[in-house]
């Protein structure tokens, strides 16, 4: 792993495959480090001929932290939700999309296949809308269009992720909290045991633990609002992947994303929640590489005779 400068920030990144391969940029979700893109998944994409780049978003992992920049408080989130009052986020998803473009710039990549999961899918959507020449194809995984009428996360998810906190900053309390997060989000047909999850959690905590960044990234998501108008302008061939059992971003979010993007293809996965379980890595990688090799684009315009 290494660092580069992007959009005025230090960004930690990693690559897989031959640098001469077809570039593919992976963008991870809310409060989640790039190591959540499993190496086996990245290797599968690289073996299909891609030069795969994953990176830590700002405010997470080993990238720049915006220490001292205050996120909106709970009351401001509530007033925004109930009365539509403006939410002033320390930065925007547009800023984070500019970070991703900066990663391509630093690596001298003109355009890439862009794949995003959850918040990363939202950032990827904005890249395709705001920086179209940099996006060869778009793959949006378990993300939403941000439309205000879409169903939200299940109550127990909201309570745990956005209200509950670990009992302390002690390692065992942190691990217990993250394990419970996994249990709430994981795919019901592809469950993982605590013994399987714990090494992943250990790796993440050893690498970085920075909950303050989660709050600022959450503010960026909420403040971004609906992307419907922006998505209608996306020209990149688009694949939308969503789990039918997603408890955080219900499947309607995937439907709506695909509906807003002309020519988008929607792939729904039975029994998938809001995670990337090992059993689904190969089929998801296959969907993405097939899309990148022969993308589904907008239909040809009708011509008269």
CATH of the domain at 80: 3.40.50.1820
**Residues 51 and 68: beta-carbon distance below 8 Å:** no
Residue partners of 127: CB distance under 8 A and separation at least 6: 97, 100, 101, 114, 134, 135, 138
Element (H, E) at 173: helix 171-185
CA dihedral defined by 102, 143, 281, 206, rounded to 10 degrees? 60
* Residue 74, pLDDT score: 61
20, part of any domain:
yes
* Residue 73, pLDDT score: 65
Q: Which domain holds residue 183?
A: 2-293
Neighbours of 200 (CB within 10 A): 15
* Residue 204, pLDDT score: 95
* Residue 71, pLDDT score: 74
Domain count, the chain: 1
51, part of any domain:
yes
* Residue 304, pLDDT score: 36
DSSP string, 43-99: HHHHHTTEEEEEEPPTTSTTSPP-TTPPPPPHHHHHHHHHH------SS-HHHHHHH
pTM, two decimal places: 0.93
Evaluate the CA torsion angle 188, 254, 47, 296 in order and state its sign.
Answer: positive
Residue partners of 171: CB distance under 8 A and separation at least 6: 205
What tokens were used for 148?
A: 């205000």
305, part of any domain:
no
What tokens were used for 13?
A: 């990144």
pLDDT per residue, tens digit, the chain (305 aa), is 799 999 999 999 999 999 999 999 999 999 999 999 999 999 999 999 999 999 999 999 999 999 988 876 664 565 455 546 567 789 999 999 999 999 999 999 999 999 999 999 999 999 999 999 999 999 999 999 999 999 999 999 988 987 778 888 889 999 999 999 999 999 999 999 999 999 999 999 999 999 999 989 999 999 999 999 999 999 999 999 999 999 999 999 999 999 999 999 999 999 999 999 999 999 999 999 999 997 655 443 333 32
298, part of any domain:
no
162, part of any domain:
yes
Rg (the chain; Cα; Å): 18
* Residue 83, pLDDT score: 47
255, part of any domain:
yes
**Residues 290 and 279: beta-carbon distance below 8 Å:** no
3-state SS string over 18-30? CCCCEEEEEECCC
């Amino acid at each position: 792993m290494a660092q580069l400068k992007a959009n005025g920030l230090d960004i930690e990144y990693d690559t897989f495959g031959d640098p001469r391969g077809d570039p593919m940029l992976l963008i991870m979700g809310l409060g989640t480090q790039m190591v959540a893109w499993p190496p086996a998944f990245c290797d599968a994409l690289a073996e299909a001929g891609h030069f795969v780049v994953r990176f830590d978003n700002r405010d997470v992992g080993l990238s720049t932290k915006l220490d001292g920049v205050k996120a909106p408080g709970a009351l401001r989130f509530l007033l925004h939700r109930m009365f539509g009052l403006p939410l002033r986020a320390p930065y925007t998803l547009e800023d984070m999309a500019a970070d991703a473009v900066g990663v391509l710039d630093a690596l001298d990549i003109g355009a890439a296949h862009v794949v995003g999961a959850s918040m990363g899918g939202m950032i990827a959507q904005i890249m395709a809308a705001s920086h179209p020449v940099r996006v060869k194809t778009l793959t949006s995984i378990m993300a939403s269009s941000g439309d205000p009428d879409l169903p939200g996360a299940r109550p127990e998810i909201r309570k745990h992720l956005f209200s509950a906190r670990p009992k302390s900053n002690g390692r065992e309390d942190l691990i217990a909290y993250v394990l419970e997060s996994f249990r709430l989000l994981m795919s019901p047909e592809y469950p993982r045991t605590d013994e399987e999850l714990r090494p992943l959690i250990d790796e993440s905590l050893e690498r970085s633990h920075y909950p303050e960044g989660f709050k600022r990234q959450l503010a960026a998501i909420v403040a971004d609002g609906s992307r419907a108008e922006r998505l209608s302008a996306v020209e990149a061939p688009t694949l939308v992947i969503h789990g039918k059992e997603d408890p955080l971003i219900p499947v309607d979010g995937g439907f709506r994303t695909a509906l807003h993007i002309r020519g988008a293809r929607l792939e729904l996965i039975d029994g998938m929640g809001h995670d990337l379980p090992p059993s689904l890595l190969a089929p998801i990688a296959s969907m993405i590489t097939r899309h990148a090799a022969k993308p589904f684009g907008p239909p040809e315009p009708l011509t008269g005779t």
